[in-house]
Amino acid sequence: MKKILIISDGEVAEHFIKRVMDTYTSENMYYVVQAKSKKNKNVNQSRMKFYEFDPTSLYKLANLLKMEFTQAIIIMDNPADVEHTIKNIRSIKKQLRIIVLNKWNLKNEDSNIVLINSKEILSSRMLDYLPNVPVIAQNVGIGEGEIMEVLVPFGSSFVYKHIGVIEQKEWRIVAIYRNRKLIMPNRRRMIQPNDLLLLVGEPAVLKSVYRAIKRELGQFPEPFGSNIYIYLDMDLVKHKSVVSFIDRAIYAHEKFGHTLIIKIVNPSDIDIIWKIKEYRSENIIVDIDYDILRQKERFFNDIKTFYAGLVVVPNEMFDDCKTRETLYQAHVPVLKLSENKFSSVKDASIILSENRDLEKISSTIFDISEQMSLNIELYNYLNEHQDAKEQVIEHYYNLSTIFSKSIKVIKESENPIKKLKKKEDFLQILPFTKKLTKRKIYSFFSTDSERLYHKLDDKHQIFIPVQI
């Protein structure tokens, strides 16, 4: 994790800190020094630390500089304070990269000090409003982040994906730059390592897309969120199985890390509630909701508030059509646990279908299998059309090379569901699409293996949204 030191004073600094808080990243830790502390709402305490002292005091700043920082950012209103603060940092950290907001044409020959001229930036922005003057790329649009360019790293989840299978809702890939040449995107175009993508869309959506593109293995449940959320409606579950269910869910939490939230709605058994409360610890939160009104709305609020990236539910809850629809609308992965032991799972099993949704969630499948040390098995039912499946298989082989993880393609002449019903110790992974929210009765005559997910109700299953 990269530690960033921010030394701030004044309105510009205050605005910058608010923007930093809104720009979530799991890779940076911010240490903010203020001469006078400001009250900030919705501060992520695990990512931002605030200190109140005068940074021109070498004695006080020296204590903080005992840590190793990647860089320091100085935004202050007084030029003398800026120069003294730089001098203090340099007396301890000779090579630390320092970014300075320069309002006064300060000069510095230190190659590790970057002076950002505020007057130059403002005049450049104002220049865009003159008629018959071309707009430079960095200032196109309303300047709130609706246009973004992203370099695709070699281990990215987007590498070797066809653009046509990438769900682009409220954002678009509008151009690809490869080897310093412009390539216009189309559905069949495949993204390559080191491609520079030009994206247009809602700023908040692009932030999620950026995280998804930059994500490598070992980050799940990112980019959906970071914490694990157990959702338990005691009106829908068998009370005698609650404690064993939570034990299995906690095993999953230990694999993926971060904070675990145990949410109980419609509590109806005092003894079970007391047992659940015994699980509380530094990174396990137990939240009991006694209000029976607007539970769906509060569930969506929890997903945002707790930054949940994986919802864990028992089989009985996922079997409930209304609950399944609510889970789908949350657009986060859902782990449905059966009554089998979860710790004995060895394989991640995927049944190939005629659509290409499995290509959309491929990187997440590799991520889950990596963190849980699972083998990846692709079941190919040979009695169905093979064109789309072959492209998906090719994509998975490409990813297996990138992530150095082998896969096994199993060719089946009979329906793979029948074979998996006899198999033990596996986790089935499926795309979480709208068709899975329909009542089970409508799928009885279907040949779609995804709609028939309930045929494997007694197995562990995880449902991955196809949207980012």
| pLDDT tens sequence across 84-107 | 999 999 999 988 999 999 998 888
For the record, the structure tokens of 344 come out as 């004995």
d(Cα 273, Cα 288) in Å, to the nearest integer?
8
- CATH fold of 227-337, please? Rossmann fold (3.40.50)
Average pLDDT of span 436-447: 82
What topology is assigned to 347-465 in CATH?
A: Rossmann fold (3.40.50)
Query: Would you place residue 136 in the very low, low, confident or very high pLDDT band (cuts 50, 70, 90)?
Result: very low
pLDDT at 137: 45
pLDDT of the residue at 126: 81
**Range(s) for CATH 3.40.50.620 in the chain?**
227-337
Residue 402: which pLDDT band, with cuts at 50, 70 and 90? low
What are the DSSP E strand ranges found in 321-459? 334-337, 347-351, 375-381, 407-412, 426-432
pLDDT of 330 reads 93
pLDDT of residue 337: 93
**Burial group, residue 409, by CB count within 10 angstroms (0-12, 13-18, 19+):** middle
pLDDT over threshold 80, residue 430: yes
pLDDT interval class at 284 (50, 70, 90): very high
CATH number for the 140-214 domain, one of 3.30.70.1450, 3.30.70.370, 2.60.40.10, 3.40.640.10? 3.30.70.1450
pLDDT of residue 167: 76
Please state the rounded mean pLDDT for residues 267-291: 89
pLDDT at 25: 67
Q: How far apart are CA 338 and CA 164, in angstroms?
A: 35
Query: Order of strands, edge to edge, in the sheet holding 181-183?
Result: 147-151, 196-201, 171-178, 181-183
Average pLDDT score over the chain: 86
Q: How confident is the model at residue 461, as a pLDDT?
A: 94
Q: Decide if pLDDT at 146 tops 50.
A: yes
pTM: 0.62
Q: Rounded CA gap, 10 and 34, in Å? A: 9
User: For residue 142, is pLDDT > 70?
Assistant: no
- CA 336/CA 338 separation, integer angstroms: 7
Is it true that domain 2-125 has CATH number 3.40.50.720?
yes
Predicted local distance difference test score (pLDDT) of residue 393 = 87
Query: What's the mean pLDDT in 11-37?
Result: 85
**Percent of the chain having pLDDT more than 70?**
93
How confident is the model at residue 28, as a pLDDT? 87
DSSP state of 189: P
% of the chain at pLDDT higher than 90: 37
Residues of the chain with CATH 3.40.50.720: 2-125
- Residue 216: the pLDDT is 63
Q: Concatenated DSSP letters for 356-374?
A: SHHHHTHHHHHHHHHHTT-
